[in-house]
A and B are shown apart, each in its own frame.
Chain A
Amino acid sequence: MSEDEGGLDGPLPEDFLAEYEEHQAGIERALLELERAGAIGEADVAVLLRRLHTLKGLSGMVGLGEAAALAHAMESALRGLRHGGRAPAKGVLDALIEAGRALALALSDRRHGAAPRDFSALIRLLSADGETAAREVPDAPLPSTAEGSIALTAAQRREIKKSARAGMDVLRATFGPSVALSARGVTVSSVRARLEARGKILSAAPVVEPGGSVRFEFVVVCPRGAVVPGDWAPDGVRVETYDVTLPEAGSDGEPLLSPSNTIRVGMDKLDDLMGIVGELVVKRARLSELTGGLSRWVPRHELRALDEASLQLERQVHMLREAVTHVRLVPIGGAFARMPFATRAVAREEGKSIRVELSGQETELDKFVVDRMTEPLLHLVRNAAAHGIERPEGRRAAGKPAEGRISLRAAAQADRVVVEVEDDGAGIDAEAVRRRGAALGLLPPGHEGPLDEDRLLEILCAPGLSTRAGADLGSGRGVGMTAVRDAVRDLGGRLSLRTTPGAGSVFTIEIPVTMLIIQALLVQDAGRTYAVPSTSVEEVMEASVAGAATIGGSPVLAYRGGTLAVASLGQTLGAARTRGRHVLVARGGGLGFAVERVLGQKEIVVSPLTDPWVRSPGVSGATRLPDGTILLILDLKTLARTNA
C-alpha cells in the first residue's frame, strides 16, 4: 500500500470497528454452522459471501491488507458453494474456520498496535484445491482437545460459574484407557457411570495426546468432597480442579478482543429522543411564561427560589438538547473515506496520475445527511477523475504538474455545511455542454453566446435521453449528475458550479444543518409574524426606507462603506408592501429586509417541511410557539438570492 492515502495508520473509527466485528462474527458463525451441518443452503452462502466481500472492502479502506487478502482467499475458496451444497473437504474447511478467526486477530493486532501477522500459509491452504489442502494440513486434533482445554458452550460455562459460586466442586477428570484396565472392566463407560453417580457431567469428550494416544476428559460438577482424587487414580482417572478462568479453547495467548465502545442505535430511536427533547424545550418555555405571570400576585423575593430553579432547568434542558443533537452528528469524513480509493481505480484505468486531498473531515452533520452524501460525492469525484483531470501528457503540455489534484473540502457555516469538490483539470467543456443542451432541447437550436455557470450545471444535470443516433450527448460529465442534483435537493440543499476552462472546476454542495432547536428572531411585517434563525442575520439596522435613494426602483441604503438593497419582507413574501424601519441584513450580504416590528429573540423548535408540495424557496421550516401559533421559518439567504 502506498503512503498517499492519508489516515491509514491512524486510529480506526468506531463505526468501522462495529461493522467489522459484526461481519467477522457473522462469518465465523456461518462457517461453524457449515462444519456442524456439513452443508449450507443457497441463501445462507449468499449472506456469507456478501459479508466476506464487505469485510474485504472495509479492510482495504483502513489498510488492513492482510485481512483483505484473507477475506479474498476465503471468498475464492467458497466460490464453488455459490449455490449452496456440501461443505468443502475437511482440510479446506478447517482452513476457512481458522481464517475466520484470523480475521478477528488481524483487527485485534491492529488495535493493539502489534505488527500484522503473516497469513500467507493460511491463504495458500485456501487457494489449494480440496485434495492437496487435506494433505497439507498437519493432522491437527479436533480444536480444543490438543491442549486439553475442553470447548464448552456458553451455557455450560455459566453453569460452571454458578456451581462454583454455590460452593460445589468443579472438576476435570481425565481417563486414559488401557488394555489392562479394560480387562479389569474399567472402561470409559464404567468411569462415566461412576462419575454420574457422584455428580453431574457437563461435558465428556475424547482428547488426543501429542503421542497419539486417546484419553477422555470429563468436566464434572459435584458436591464438595464427593470425588476424592485418590479413589480414582487406581482406575487410571486423574482428577483435578477445573480452572474456570482458563482461556477459551482455541486461544493460545492471543489478546482477547475488546469490544468496541459503541452500540448501534436505530435512527428511529434517535428521532423519538429528539422529539421528546423538543417537547421539553417548548414546555419549559411555557412554564417560564407562566411563572413570569405570577409576579403580579406574589412579591418578588418570594419568587426568587422559583426563578433560580427555572433558570437551572433552562440550563439543563439546554445541555440535554445539545447532547441529543450531538448523538446524531457524525463526521462527514465517513463519506470522504472512500474517495481516494475510488479515484485510484479510475486513475489506473485511464492512465492518469491523480492525488486526492481531503480537508474538514471532522465537520459534523446529521447521520441521515452524511449517509445520503456518499453517493453524490462519489459521482462528483469519479467524474472529476474521469473527465476533469487530463492525461499527464496533456497536463504537461498545458504547463500543469503531471499529477492532477482533486480536493474535497467540508466546512461548517452559520446554518449550513458547505462541501466542495474541486479539480485542477480542464474545466467544463462548454461546447460539449452546448451541444448536449441543444440535443436535449434545453437550448434553442443555434444558440450562441456564453452559457453562465448555472445554465451549464442545469444542462449537465438534466436527465439524458436514451441513445440518440448521431447526437453527441457526451459533455463528459453526464453520468450521475442527475442523481447528484436530486440527492442534494432531497436534503434541502443546493448544488452550484464554478468552472474555468483549462484551470478546473468546483462543484459546491450546501446542506442546511438540521438543528432541531435554534435561536430565532421573531419579526412582524404586513400583519404576519415570521421566525428568522438568529445565525442568518448579520445585524438589524434602524433605517428609514422611505425617502431612501433608489437604484432600479429598489431602495438602497449606505451600508459599511457600500450599498445595500432593501426589500420589504412582506412584499417579498407576497403580502403587502410596507415601510418598515427595521432592516434585517442577511448574513452573506446581498439584501436587507425591512420589517415593521422586531419582537425579540426566542428559542424555537424547528419542524422541517419535507413535503415537496409545501416546500418553497426561502422557507426552511416551521415552528409552533408555546401559545400554539405556527410560524414559518425564513431562509434569508435564499430569499436574498431569489430576489436580488
Chain B
Amino acid sequence: MVRASLSSLERVELEEATTGLEAIERISLSPVDLVVLDMNMPDMHGLEVIRFLRAQEAYKRIPILVLTTRDDEASRRDAMAAGADLYMSKPFDPKALAGRAGELLESGGLP
C-alpha cells in the first residue's frame, strides 16, 4: 500500500528493503533522496537506522519519513530526536503520505 501510494508521485523510483540492515545496504549502494522508514524491524530498530544514517556525512541530509504503527508521543519524540524529518502513523491516508513525501523530495529535507 505504501508502494501504491508513493508510486503516484512523478519521476520517482522506488526501492524496497525488508529489514533495517537491508535498508542501510541499499542506501549505501545507491544514493536515495528519501527514506520512508518503519520502526519495528526485526534485525535493527528504526531508531538505530535513523541514528546510523544521521551519523554519516554521506547520509545525514537524506530526508527520513517515519511511517509506523506506533502512535504514542514518546515514540514520536524518540524518532524526531534521533533525526527523522516527519512522523506518520499507520493506518495512513495514501494521499497524505504521497503529499508529505512529495514535499520532502522537493525541499530536500525540512529546514
Residues of A within 8 A of B (CB): 37-39, 86-87, 90, 139-142, 177-179, 182, 187-189, 192, 204-206, 208, 212-214, 216
Is the CB–CB distance between B44 and A87 below 8 Å?
no
Given known A-B contacts A38-B82, A39-B78, A179-B29, A206 and B55 have beta carbons under 8 A apart: no
Q: List residues of chain B with CB within 8 A of the CB of A187.
A: 22, 25
Having A86-B81, A206-B44, A213-B28, one finds 14 other A-B pairs with CB under 8 Å, namely A38-B79, A38-B81, A90-B83, A142-B51, A142-B52, A179-B29, A179-B30, A188-B22, A188-B24, A192-B21, A205-B44, A212-B58, A214-B24, A216-B24
Q: Which of A86, A141, A182, A189 contacts B29 (CB 8 A)?
A: A182
Chain B positions within 8 Å of A39 at CB level: 74, 77-78, 81
Chain A residue with the shortest CB-CB distance to B74: A39
B residues neighboring A (CB under 8 Å): 18-19, 21-22, 24-25, 28-30, 43-44, 47, 51-52, 54-58, 60, 74, 77-83
Main secondary structure of the interface of A (DSSP, over half): mixed
B8 to chain A, nearest CB (A): 27
Q: List 17 A-B contacts (CB under 8 A).
A: A38-B77, A38-B78, A38-B79, A38-B80, A86-B77, A86-B80, A139-B60, A141-B56, A182-B25, A187-B25, A189-B19, A192-B43, A206-B24, A206-B52, A212-B56, A214-B28, A216-B25
Please state if B25 and A188 are interface contacts (CB–CB under 8 Å). yes
Q: Are A216 and B81 in contact (CB under 8 A)?
A: no
B residues less than 8 Å from A182 (CB atoms): 25, 29
Residues of B within 8 A of A139 (CB): 55-57, 60
Q: Once the chains are docked, how many angstroms separate the CA of A332 from the CA of B39?
A: 57
- Which residues of chain B are within 8 angstroms of A205 by Cβ–Cβ distance? 44
CA distance A440 to B81 in the complex (A): 62
CB distance from A235 to the nearest CB of B (A): 14
Given known contacts A179-B30, A192-B21, A213-B28, A90 and B43 CB-to-CB distance under 8 angstroms: no
B53 to A: closest C-beta gap in Å: 10
| B24 contacts across to A, CB distance below 8 A | 188, 206, 214, 216
Which residues of B sit under 8 angstroms from A86, Cβ to Cβ?
Answer: 77, 80-81
In Å, the complex CA distance between A86 and B81 comes to: 7
User: Which residues of the partner chain A approach B47 to less than 8 Å between Cβ atoms?
Assistant: 38
Chain A contacts for B22, CB-based, 8 A: 187-189
Chain B residues with CB below 8 A from A189, complex form: 18-19, 21-22
The CA-CA distance from A542 to B84 in the complex, in Å, is 94
Q: Write out the residue numbers on chain A whose beta carbons fall within 8 Å of the beta carbon of B82.
A: 38
